[in-house]
């Protein structure tokens, strides 16, 4: 049985190795100290909401991280599902779906208009998961970024 709960600052050490692995998945070198500092700061400052998945042995095996923002056009709160990661040994189950459901429930409870996310064009497994959960790919807008 998997347990999903919202993370607290005291969970930083449980999340950090997963966050470090997530960053490595996206091509960053392992940096456990960076991962722990970044997650600890987000939790301490209330800048993100993180949900953590634990396996039967009580080991953290996945997380999802949400950042609050707003839609000016809709005049409403939205959340960005910025990070979703499940440890490789815990994949092929329902953990990712359960984490996404927790994220959606959290956003709904706070009156959010929507959740948004982006993923790599080659991450077909994630795309299939999102689409199977009712997420719709944006075909109307291009998204840009500026490296500073």
Q: Which one has a higher pLDDT value, 9 or 120?
A: 9
Per-residue confidence at 145, pLDDT binned at 50, 70, 90? confident
Q: What DSSP state is assigned to residue 29?
A: P
Query: pLDDT-derived band of residue 120, with 50, 70 and 90 as boundaries?
Result: confident
For residue 108, the surrounding DSSP H or E stretch is helix 95-109
Mean model confidence pLDDT for the chain: 94
pLDDT of residue 123 exceeding 90: no
Give yes or no for residue 81 having a pLDDT over 90: yes
Distance CA 38, CA 26 (A): 16
> Which strand (E) or helix (H) includes residue 132?
helix 124-132
Count Cβ atoms below 10 Å from residue 62 Cβ, excluding itself.
25
The pLDDT assigned to 113 comes to: 95
Per-residue pLDDT at 147 = 82
Span 109-123, average pLDDT: 92
- Domains belonging to the chain, first-starting first, are 3-132 (3.40.630.30)
């Amino acid at each position: 049985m998997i347990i999903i709960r919202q993370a607290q600052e005291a969970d930083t050490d449980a999340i950090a190795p997963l966050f470090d692995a997530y960053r490595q998945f996206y091509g960053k070198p392992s940096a456990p100290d960076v991962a722990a500092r970044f997650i600890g700061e987000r939790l301490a400052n209330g800048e993100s909401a993180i949900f953590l998945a634990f396996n039967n042995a009580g080991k953290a095996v996945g997380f999802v991280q949400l950042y609050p923002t707003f839609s000016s056009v809709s005049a409403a709160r939205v959340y960005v599902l910025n990070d979703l990661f499940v440890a490789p040994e815990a994949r092929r189950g329902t953990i990712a779906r359960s984490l996404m459901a927790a994220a959606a429930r959290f956003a709904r409870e706070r009156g959010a208009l929507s959740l948004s996310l982006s993923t790599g064009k080659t991450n077909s497994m994630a795309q299939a998961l999102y689409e199977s959960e009712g997420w719709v790919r944006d075909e109307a807008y291009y998204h840009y970024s500026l490296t500073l």
